[in-house]
């Protein structure tokens, strides 16, 4: 059930334990039509929203596949950036190519988001440089590590409201602008 929040133009559909049951049912069925369950529901909601953001857990379970089939654009977060992240991200990109060739030809890779980064650490700067050399489509925006994010989550509040003048809030505003530009301001599910 979609719920309004106290913030203007922001509604949420919070996850709960029933998602685990749905994931298990979808996984057990393993039918191609099951990959479109989320899409069929989002189509009904789409006229009411400019953007629908789908936040998926790491991994490629049936819920994530449903999200990819329903999406127009994809941002893959890598947090924190490390050498193993490239392997997992390339695996995700292979899955994206498969979905684009079949169930969702409009799915576009918007980029890889480096998040929870410590740019003050030489080791992380080296790892980021390695990821850039690997050919991954990195977004320009980098989200820094910050305890303020945890505090905002605990307060059930967006970071741009909880700590609007913080570096991490500025990075999220920059990310929103970058994604809007990449998506050409059209309505998009991400």
CATH at 155: 3.40.50.300
Q: Which residues contact 167 (CB under 8 A, 6 or more apart)?
A: 144, 146
Split into its structural domains, the chain has a count of 1
Given pLDDT bands bounded at 50, 70 and 90, which one contains residue 96?
A: very high
**C-alpha dihedral sign at 119, 125, 128, 132:** positive
Which has more confidence, 30 or 4?
4
Cβ of 6: how many Cβ atoms within 10 Å? 8
Residue-range definition of the domain harbouring residue 114 = 3-189
Cα within 13 Å of Cα(19), Cβ side: 15
The helix or strand, by DSSP H or E, that contains position 74, with its residue range, turns out to be strand 73-78
Question: According to the model, what pLDDT value does residue 32 have?
Answer: 54
Residue 187: band (very low, low, confident or very high) from pLDDT cuts 50, 70, 90 = very low
Mean pLDDT within 99-115 = 93
Burial class (CB in 10 A: 0-12, 13-18, 19+), 71: buried
Both tokens of residue 73? 């654009």
Tell me the whole-structure pTM to 2 decimals. Answer: 0.85
Q: Decide if 42 contacts 52 (C-beta within 8 A).
A: yes
Work out the number of other CB atoms within 10 angstroms of the CB of residue 166.
Answer: 17
């Amino acid at each position: 059930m979609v719920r309004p929040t106290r913030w203007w133009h922001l509604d949420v559909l919070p996850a709960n334990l029933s998602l685990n049951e749905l994931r298990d049912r979808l996984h057990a069925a393993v039918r191609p039509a099951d990959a479109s369950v989320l899409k069929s529901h989002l189509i009904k909601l789409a006229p009411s929203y400019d953007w629908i953001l789908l936040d998926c857990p790491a991994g490629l379970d049936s819920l994530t596949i449903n999200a990819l089939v329903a999406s127009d654009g994809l941002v893959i977060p890598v947090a924190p950036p490390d050498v193993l992240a490239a392997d997992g991200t390339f695996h995700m990109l292979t899955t994206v190519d498969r979905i684009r060739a079949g169930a969702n030809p409009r799915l576009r890779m918007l980029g890889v988001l480096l998040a929870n980064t410590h740019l003050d650490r030489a080791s992380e700067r080296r790892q980021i440089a390695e990821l850039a050399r690997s050919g991954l489509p990195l977004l320009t925006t980098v989200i820094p590590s910050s305890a303020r994010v945890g505090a905002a989550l605990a307060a059930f509040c967006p970071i741009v409201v909880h700590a609007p003048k913080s570096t991490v809030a500025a990075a999220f505003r920059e990310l929103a602008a970058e994604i809007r530009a990449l998506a050409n301001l059209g309505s998009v599910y991400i």
